[in-house]
Structure 1
């Protein structure tokens, strides 16, 4: 132990991380010099309770027979010399049937803010377990009853430390049968992790020379090997699947011509790329990834959520061109919200006709490609490690991005007034967020979190507005996609939805193209997310949130708080921002959005 103590002392003085195995399955883990540590002394090793401590960046787990007092004193003294104080949180499980009370054992009138934070935090667990309570016990004995104190009062003072004991009811476990409620345990340790960090931050804020600006900065800053491996495997399966490419028709143009010839009475017969993967084998690979070993609650949640999405997408590939494809897709992308349907109808009511007020200068696919290439060349310098490319192809409809490639149909034409907007949509949003994600340690940042499409498309449409390229026809198309998706969900056929769109004064081809996207694969409600995402981003900006955060990778609006947490923890790096944000006119329009406007006012 003397050698261990010397090693720990020198590492703390050098500001290095510590990861030491102790006898009998013990572990000392300190990622960075932090003015607190969580301690668990066990008589019978409990991996689930130990897992609660492992959510922290500083913990000591040791066999109760091992004397760790001198080790803790050295840690306390070394850190206190730098930060003026040190907090020791000794924790132990309580397994009394029907007991859901947390016990907080502390000296009277010491670290009042820390104690209050712990009590308030534990009582919030009522949200997931109604019977929870928390009791503060003022006492000199701050350890489990059958153990000796870690330090006496004088030793604690000399080392500059404060010890608080926490008795944790094992409500995540069936005490009688020793079964773990796995789903509840995941939620419990997420709550527990945050409670401890918040309480430690209160101690740091009041008692130390605080170098931390936010409680999330106390979180883990390093990703464990098991986390990186799991992330890599998930990203690999997601990329290999190429879901959207495999559910997008390759004969859309030919079927449009046939649809016209048949006077819009015969349902198009769409063809798709062959599926070169075995969905069943990929599902087996998915569930062989040991996500249960990941102790970081935030990243574990992100990866589990993504695994569920990939499983649904694999099932959809198996069910392509069947009614089951549609139903699974609805569970994947969610119900079309009433607010989105209302906004779509408001847009079509305010702009009932297509805009043909000005003569259109049409650009060919080659004209557009030349302009897009200039933008790609600019970002290639910003992201030298990621090759950016452009292809004109026969097997795509319109234009799309696949990873860092811009794919353009050889039949594609474009109103010149929309050229800049489309470049900022596809390159400055989809490709830039992909490249920023590639620069992050988590591969999900570029492969995409679960349901990332909604924020991605909302952010991309926002770019169109910011560069003054959001037209009436574009807004009508976004609204039309929502109307068509709702029509499909209610059971309408392709031809019924096509005629519904024509009745809302969309051209024959636009009605066909919208319906094709909605009914592809057997029915895909994904296109409703463009307008939903735009509403999300407008609301986000109105709340004064940080636009730059949205460019760090590919995720959904409900993941933003997690991204900000990972940024506080220095896991996610600041992004390279689209250069169009430097335009004065864009800054003016952003300010307008921050004051709040209706979606129908974007064109005014």
Structure 2
């Protein structure tokens, strides 16, 4: 176990704790979601899909220059263990990049380039995988797709599902978000979109996705001596979202329709990366891919918010990576230790060995047994490149 009396360990814990206090101030999703989505949607539809929306974003409530300075003022040289020192250098650069994302929200290509640095952009292979999925018909998925739960009823279903786990969390409603539900890690809260009416299929997906993974990793992340597990390793988003969609698959709730939604997100981010404006990305989804205009609008918002938020392509690539990892017989519990990244799995094992981390207390229910019976979904996952 770790020896708290050593100077190096004391330095590591102090730096980790200091960074944690800084990182709590920068929940990117709190800033990148426009506050006028619904009114801009009406205008956009009225313009016959020609006039790009003008989104307004929440005010930033931190001093960005000071925050940058504080990040880089940490005496990382006091961490004697080279492996851990390198990890904390990676963390410092990754979060400094996120601050640059937040401070340029709404500034068009400036934000896009910062987003690109933090999240990357789809490769040609990612786009090919998306197009492969879009060849499949989702007609068989019509079951359970009728909208029937308002946000209060949805809240009850989330609370009931939450009883499967030994933790409690808050639920809030919001009318100003791009997603239909999301977990805010720093306040252990599930936020539900109050403008949305949820179908049975959506609730099955969201319970396994949001609570079964995002809330599980939030709660596990808080149990370690090091706070990095709670606020997130560099590039953790791809693994997190991959795990969350993998939970949909393992629980038997991943449909072709849902896979196509993830594929459309890749197409939208690729369109953004090619320099297309909002209206052109929307028309690509709506006209070329026959996506209904409501869904096409929200997927376009997700990709273009802030000035170009590329994160959305990671759901599909993350799913493929986690699916392969599991197929190879590797230990999923390593990825449930917190907001971690598959690329750092050996570092996580090292931290566990050294006593800087603990094994996860909470384990995603759907991971105990594969309940998928959809052969087409299995075929797709096996054939993604």
TM-score normalised by length of structure 1: 0.59
Do the aligned partners of residues 563 and 359 (structure 1) sit closer, same or farther apart at CA in structure 2, a change above 3 Å counting?
A: closer
Match of 2:184 in 1: 402
Match of 2:336 in 1: 551
Give SS of 2:202's match: helix
**Native 8 Å contact 1:458 1:534 kept in 2:** yes
CA offset at residue 337 of structure 1? Answer: 2.6
Match of 2:160 in 1: 374
Aligned-partner Cα distance in 1 for 2:182–2:3:
45
Aligned-partner Cα distance in 2 for 1:17–1:357:
56
Aligned-partner Cα distance in 2 for 1:352–1:374:
29
Do the aligned partners of residues 469 and 227 (structure 1) sit closer, same or farther apart at CA in structure 2, a change above 3 Å counting?
A: same
**Native 8 Å contact 1:351 1:472 kept in 2:** yes
Aligned-partner Cα distance in 2 for 1:512–1:600:
30
CA offset at residue 374 of structure 1? Answer: 2.0
Residue segments in structure 1 that go unaligned for 5+ positions in a row = 1-14, 20-28, 30-53, 55-222
CA offset at residue 316 of structure 1? Answer: 2.0
Deviation per CA, 1:465-522, whole angstroms, max 9, x where unpaired?
Answer: 1111112221111000101111111111111111111111211011110110101111
Match of 1:483 in 2: 267
Do the aligned partners of residues 354 and 488 (structure 1) sit closer, same or farther apart at CA in structure 2, a change above 3 Å counting?
A: farther
Deviation per CA, 1:207-231, whole angstroms, max 9, x where unpaired?
Answer: xxxxxxxxxxxxxxxx711111111
Summarize the alignment of residues 445-524 of structure 1 with structure 2, pairs less than 5 Å apart: 445-502=229-286, 503-524=288-309
RMSD: 2.6
Aligned-partner Cα distance in 2 for 1:225–1:493:
50
Q: Does 1:391 align with 2:176?
A: no
- How many residues are matched? 376
**Native 8 Å contact 1:352 1:505 kept in 2:** no
Which one has the bigger strand percentage?
1
Summarize the alignment of residues 292-441 of structure 1 with structure 2, pairs less than 5 Å apart: 292-322=77-107, 323-351=109-137, 356=142, 360-379=146-165, 382-383=166-167, 388-397=169-178, 398-403=180-185, 404-441=188-225
CA offset at residue 542 of structure 1? Answer: 2.1
Give SS of 1:240's match: coil
Quick one: higher RCO (CA 8 Å, sep 6+), 1 or 2? 2
Deviation per CA, 1:231-271, whole angstroms, max 9, x where unpaired?
Answer: 11212222211212111112212221222222211111111
Aligned-partner Cα distance in 2 for 1:436–1:547:
13
Match of 1:143 in 2: none
CA offset at residue 353 of structure 1? Answer: 7.2
Do the aligned partners of residues 364 and 578 (structure 1) sit closer, same or farther apart at CA in structure 2, a change above 3 Å counting?
A: farther
CA offset at residue 301 of structure 1? Answer: 2.0
Give SS of 2:66's match: helix
CA offset at residue 528 of structure 1? Answer: 0.6
Residue segments in structure 2 that go unaligned for 5+ positions in a row = none
Deviating more after overlay: 537-546 vs 252-261: 252-261
Rg larger for: 1
Match of 2:47 in 1: 262
CA offset at residue 396 of structure 1? Answer: 2.6
Match of 1:32 in 2: none
Aligned-partner Cα distance in 1 for 2:367–2:90:
35
- Select 2:59's aligned residue among 238, 255, 274: 274
Match of 1:284 in 2: 69
Summarize the alignment of residues 75-154 of structure 1 with structure 2, pairs less than 5 Å apart: none
**Native 8 Å contact 2:57 2:106 kept in 1:** no
TM-score normalised by length of structure 2: 0.90
**Native 8 Å contact 1:399 1:412 kept in 2:** no
CA offset at residue 419 of structure 1? Answer: 1.3
Aligned-partner Cα distance in 2 for 1:433–1:280:
31
Do the aligned partners of residues 421 and 549 (structure 1) sit closer, same or farther apart at CA in structure 2, a change above 3 Å counting?
A: same
Aligned-partner Cα distance in 2 for 1:353–1:501:
18
Aligned-partner Cα distance in 1 for 2:112–2:2:
53
Deviation per CA, 1:127-164, whole angstroms, max 9, x where unpaired?
Answer: xxxxxxxxxxxxxxxxxxxxxxxxxxxxxxxxxxxxxx
Do the aligned partners of residues 582 and 306 (structure 1) sit closer, same or farther apart at CA in structure 2, a change above 3 Å counting?
A: closer
**Native 8 Å contact 1:353 1:505 kept in 2:** no
CA offset at residue 355 of structure 1? Answer: 5.0
Deviating more after overlay: 276-285 vs 538-547: 538-547
Do the aligned partners of residues 353 and 239 (structure 1) sit closer, same or farther apart at CA in structure 2, a change above 3 Å counting?
A: farther
Match of 1:570 in 2: 355
Give SS of 1:283's match: helix
Aligned-partner Cα distance in 1 for 2:267–2:64:
32
Deviation per CA, 1:2-34, whole angstroms, max 9, x where unpaired?
Answer: xxxxxxxxxxxxx99797xxxxxxxxx8xxxxx
Give SS of 2:198's match: strand
Do the aligned partners of residues 564 and 252 (structure 1) sit closer, same or farther apart at CA in structure 2, a change above 3 Å counting?
A: same
CA offset at residue 556 of structure 1? Answer: 1.3
